[in-house]
Structure 1
Amino acid sequence: MSTRLISPTAGADLGRPGTMARYTYTYKTVDEIHLLMDVYLPRVSSSKSQQHATQASPHGEPPIVIYFHGGGLTVGNKDSWFPHWLHGRLTAAGCAFASVEYRLLPPSTGHDILVDVKDAFHFVSHELNVKLLQSQGDDSSEPAQARPRVDIGRIAVCGTSSGGLCAYLAAMHASPRPTALLSMYGMGGHMLTPHYLMPKSEVFFRGRELLDPARFNEYLYPHCRNLLVTINSPLAYHPATSPTPGYPANPRMQLARLYFQLGTYLDYYTGHHEPSLSAIVREAFSAASDPGRAVEVDVLSTLIPTDSLPLFPQAFLSGSKAGSWPATFLVHGTADTAVHADESRSLDLLLQRAGVEVTLRLVEGKEHSFDYADDAEDTFGGKGGLYDEAADFLCRHLGISL
């Protein structure tokens, strides 16, 4: 286990990944809506990575990394905030890569998302290889090594922002359990904090204005119960000719920020609005000797309804099954105003106490989503840099070489 503060340094441009085989599958259907998964097979396979793969599986099938997108759990799809830097490195190393959609808040809750995460893993481990074979045509005369497959015994998981929380849910509940986990500024390390629970009266996110709740009435409880189940909610911005160029045109892009502003995010995450879970936990702050501190983990069992405890990583890591959590690599910018770096710091400590292999990399002065900046590859993509280290962590635990 290790923690290191990283100062951004210049690096070489690795470039975007080239053309490769991509397969899109429906991994489940909810209310006649298809939840999709894009699967990318490796674009190259070096002799070294092939050697490692062959040692781990009889036909040299590649391992696979399952990726969950960010968006506060309220917006996005399998193409949103796609991590090209990670995808390119993994597929070049001989690893398959899957990008997964899941139900969004609201009207869905974290309970629904947990089911989607589990179902995505079940699809990969029980159905994906059959689907891949069908996609190519079932030619039994074709050599087994030439048929598209993945090694279902080597699955890792990663996510950015709220996708990091999805990755944590997989670490807690998915079957099979992932071998390794990469979280980029993930939510969920500690959700009982003022950032989640306290109403905001001053600017708190990237210097942007406070939102007018009246503009989002249909997304507020109880009106949000009338919304249709939403899975695919792409990013959209006002055009340059608009009075507000570049401003989000999809209202879902601002929902998580609004719920943080109102101090009610946990209500939408757990589905506990009546009574408001956020209000209940907020009262614990008022009674605390130091209201500015996060509520301690041991109050989870008394404040969080039993049915929602499985949605909180810190509850899992305080229990008897904590040691089953996979090896974990955490990355977080120290200046993150959307998901505070203390979430990853807190998770790092909990994992250390549970005896789990964990690495925390704090990136000095960086905001949320820093890896999507135009110069991010130049800054973090040099040989042996942060990107290589994160990708190598996954590769190492999957038995291949970057």
Structure 2
Amino acid sequence: MAHTPNTTPELAPFTFAYKVVHGAPIYLDVYPPSLPPDSRVANAANRNGNHDPAIVPALLYFHGGGLTVGNRKSWFPQWLQKRVTAAGYVFMSADYRLMPPATGHDIIDDIKDIFRFISGELNSKLSAAAADGTLARFGVDPNAIAVAGSSAGGQATYWSAMHVSPKPKAIVLLYAMGGDYLTPQYLTKKTVPFFRGREILDPADYSEYMYPFADSLEVISDSPLAYNPSSSPMPGFPANPRMLLSRLYLQLGVLVDYLTGEHGLSDILRKALASDKTDLAHSTGSDYYDAINDRLKQLIPERHHLLFPQFATISDWPPAYLVHGTLDTAVLVHESRYMHRRLEDVGVNVTLSVQEGKEHSFDYEPDAETVHGKELFDSVDEFLKEHLEKARTD
């Protein structure tokens, strides 16, 4: 659900299709470690005449965009990629199918297929790509993978912890969607600006993306960001209508319908929610919200329960690092606070870093490295190093 200008990666990655759907490939970008030639990783890669690749841990990243827009280069977290590759690890960024017409079920299938590709095919493809000897050979240790995601990518990260086996060794969730879908933010209809004070959208302008869909609405996994030029009557306004879909679905209170593919479900949940969860800023413990969620869960067809992290069995989840701004108007800080309490209650190693006064996508602000680099960004980096190094020695 990110809504800030694009930040593109500085390095050229290896790009591979990890699956094909309806004849269209879905891609994964792989960024090699960037340590100097005398480093441990580079030496391992070049010994014996460059025949032994260095098998190293990796971080898999999922982009934001409300599950409706973007690609593996959208809202690219340079601060995270630079730290990961400088540590001698591989950084990977993946596309996944977008809503609509895809649903959360399709995206979970994509996530599972990414991990199958990493464990089964990736290293042989990397060896072939570096066969000319111009690059140090490296491979990914499939038993030492962490996952991170921003906003909608955080939802994909939750799904990785829920549905991938073996589980990631650590997860990083940056203002993640999915911590609690059963709130007014997702279920109520809004008639006044609610996200950054921006205008209320006219659904008629987005009829192509409203249920029931036209037959021409194709399955896609790559929808690049685009903005109107300065010469336009609305300079800087999103030129790709998909960039506004998640905001529209929140405005209409129907995002859960598009997530599940069960249209009309949001209306049922909206009526049942009534006045519950109207104050998400207070310190009520997770038991209070669990009770409401358990009641609403009964109204959701069982086949969709696997889409909701709040319904998941979490006692076996990997260590987690959650980050959220207190003034986030897209994904409320309640979602991370709620999941933090749930994980903490069952003994999962979990950290929550709440950034006072920060909005959605604050880590893409021009001064983000100066403001957050030494504390937040380096803390995330140390968290990943701790658990990836542990994984490679187990």
Q: Does the alignment reach a TM-score above 0.5?
A: yes
User: TM-score, normalization: structure 1?
Assistant: 0.86
Query: Identity of paired residues, percent?
Result: 50
Please, which runs of 5 or more residues in structure 1 have no aligned partner? 1-15, 140-144
CA contact (8 A) 2:227 2:236 kept: yes
4+ aligned runs moved over 4 Å, structure 1: 16-19, 45-51, 288-295
Cα RMSD for the two superposed structures: 2.5
Please, which runs of 5 or more residues in structure 2 have no aligned partner? 1-7, 46-51, 281-288
Taking the aligned partners of 2:216 and 2:103, their CA distance within structure 1 comes to 14
How do 1:1-400 residues align onto structure 2 when only pairs under 5 Å count? 19=11, 22-44=13-35, 50=41, 60-137=54-131, 147-223=137-213, 226-273=216-263, 276-286=264-274, 296-316=292-312, 319=313, 322-382=314-374, 385-399=375-389
Taking the aligned partners of 1:183 and 1:161, their CA distance within structure 2 comes to 8
TM-superposed CA distance for 1:138, in Å, is 8.9
1:85-116 deviation digits (Å, cap 9, x = unpaired): 00001100101010000000000000000100
Taking the aligned partners of 1:225 and 1:171, their CA distance within structure 2 comes to 34
Taking the aligned partners of 1:370 and 1:342, their CA distance within structure 2 comes to 17
Taking the aligned partners of 1:158 and 1:192, their CA distance within structure 2 comes to 23
Taking the aligned partners of 2:184 and 2:276, their CA distance within structure 1 comes to 14
Compared with structure 1, are the counterparts of its residues 73 and 17 closer, same or farther at alpha carbon in structure 2 (3 Å cutoff)?
A: closer
Compared with structure 1, are the counterparts of its residues 36 and 367 closer, same or farther at alpha carbon in structure 2 (3 Å cutoff)?
A: same
Taking the aligned partners of 2:16 and 2:326, their CA distance within structure 1 comes to 37
The DSSP-based 3-state class of the residue aligned with 1:266 is: helix
CA contact (8 A) 1:80 1:235 kept: yes
CA contact (8 A) 1:300 1:315 kept: no
- 2:386 alignment partner AA: R
1:263-286 deviation digits (Å, cap 9, x = unpaired): 00000000001xx11011111123
The DSSP-based 3-state class of the residue aligned with 1:63 is: strand
Taking the aligned partners of 2:151 and 2:13, their CA distance within structure 1 comes to 24
The DSSP-based 3-state class of the residue aligned with 1:359 is: strand
TM-superposed CA distance for 1:30, in Å, is 0.4
User: TM-score, normalization: structure 2?
Assistant: 0.88
TM-superposed CA distance for 1:47, in Å, is 7.8
Taking the aligned partners of 1:239 and 1:147, their CA distance within structure 2 comes to 42
Taking the aligned partners of 1:304 and 1:387, their CA distance within structure 2 comes to 38
- 2:346 alignment partner AA: A
Taking the aligned partners of 2:132 and 2:317, their CA distance within structure 1 comes to 37
TM-superposed CA distance for 1:297, in Å, is 2.4
CA contact (8 A) 2:35 2:41 kept: no
Taking the aligned partners of 1:45 and 1:153, their CA distance within structure 2 comes to 25
